[in-house]
């Protein structure tokens, strides 16, 4: 019997997709907030398990060390408990949660001299100095102006899952993200790594849609360049 049963959960995930938080706790957004307000421990643990990894990753884009980022995540959940009674649903719970984190992370980042808010002297509004990284990929002058210097080739292996099997490749990507200017790192972490919608990213980081796309583009371009040598034909 067990032999017949064991592949079921994973095959069901394959067919139905990985369950969302709402499906896991079987509550909609309003139900989730009410459960937290009345102090339902099971729901609190499920919500904390669901979001803490993402919160930690985002906190690390503001503060200098993982230890401080973990403290920020703790402070965020304490903030949730303090504020949940007054939560009115003007934004989604997720946006509200991440906004608490960014506010606390900024305060900690400034104190630890890691984070410089937008608009301070010396901090570029899009987080980059000098010409775009992409410029060097194209012919600058003459009849071929605007064409590829070295036309991009197809990449192998054919799936990202297989590329990430190489620890070296994974480390290179993570280091590339760590080296990004803070605001690019925050955007790419939320939008691509954590899969948050563009609209929510704008609300969480309080930036415009255009600014979100510019920062995202710059960040993706840099990560693509780092990934390139690992996935060019023949290298795994």
Partner 1 sequence: MDKNFKQQLMGYMAGNFTCQEVAALITDYLEGSFTLSQRLRFQMHMGLCFACRNYLRQMKYTVATLRQLPSEPVPVQVKEELLKRFRTWKQEQSSQNTRLNSQ
What the block records as the tokens of 43 is 């729901």
Q: Which backbone phi and psi does 40 adopt, to 5 degrees? A: -75, 110
Give the N- to C-terminal CA distance of the chain in Å, as an integer: 40
Is 34 one of the binding residues for partner 1 (CB under 8 A)?
no
SS3 29: helix
Choice from 27, 61, 68, 77 touching partner 1 (CB under 8 A)? 77
Q: Residue 180: CB partners within 8 Å, gap ≥ 6?
A: 127, 188, 219, 222
Give the contact letters, 129-168, x = binds to partner 1 (CB under 8 A), - = no: ---x-xx-xx------xxxx--xxxxx----xx-xx----
Find the angle CA(51)-CA(112)-CA(211) to the nearest 5 degrees. Answer: 60
User: Any contact of residue 54 with partner 1 (CB under 8 A)?
Assistant: yes
Residue 111 or 232 with smaller CB distance to partner 1: 232
What is the C-alpha to C-alpha distance for residues 232 and 67, in angstroms, rounded to an integer?
A: 36
Q: 101 or 116, CB closer to partner 1?
A: 101
Binding site for partner 1 (CB under 8 A): 39, 41, 44-45, 48-49, 52-54, 56-57, 60, 70, 73-74, 77-78, 81, 132, 134-135, 137-138, 145-148, 151-155, 160-161, 163-164, 170, 173-174, 188, 192-193, 195, 198, 209, 213, 216-217, 220, 223-224, 227-228, 231
């Amino acid at each position: 019997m067990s032999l017949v049963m064991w592949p079921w959960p994973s095959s069901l995930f394959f067919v139905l997709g990985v369950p969302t938080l709402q499906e896991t706790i079987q509550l909609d957004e309003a139900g989730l907030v009410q459960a937290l307000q009345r102090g339902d421990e099971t729901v609190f643990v499920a919500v904390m398990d669901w979001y803490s990894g993402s919160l930690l990753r985002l906190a690390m884009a503001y503060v200098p060390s993982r230890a401080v980022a973990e403290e920020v995540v703790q402070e965020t959940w304490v903030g949730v408990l303090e504020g949940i009674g007054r939560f009115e649903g003007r934004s989604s719970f997720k946006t509200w949660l991440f906004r608490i984190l960014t506010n606390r992370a900024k305060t900690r980042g400034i104190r630890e001299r890691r984070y410089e808010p937008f608009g301070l002297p010396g901090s570029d509004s899009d987080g980059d100095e000098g010409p775009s990284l992409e410029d060097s990929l194209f012919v600058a002058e003459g009849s071929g102006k605007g064409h590829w210097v070295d036309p991009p080739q197809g990449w192998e292996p054919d799936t990202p899952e297989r590329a990430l099997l190489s620890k070296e490749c994974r480390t290179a990507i993570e280091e590339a993200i760590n080296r990004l200017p803070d605001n690019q790192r925050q955007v790419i972490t939320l939008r691509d790594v954590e899969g948050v919608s563009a609209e929510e990213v704008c609300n969480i980081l309080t930036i415009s849609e255009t600014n979100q796309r510019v920062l995202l583009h710059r960040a993706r371009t840099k990560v693509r360049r780092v990934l390139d040598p690992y996935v060019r034909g023949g290298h795994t």
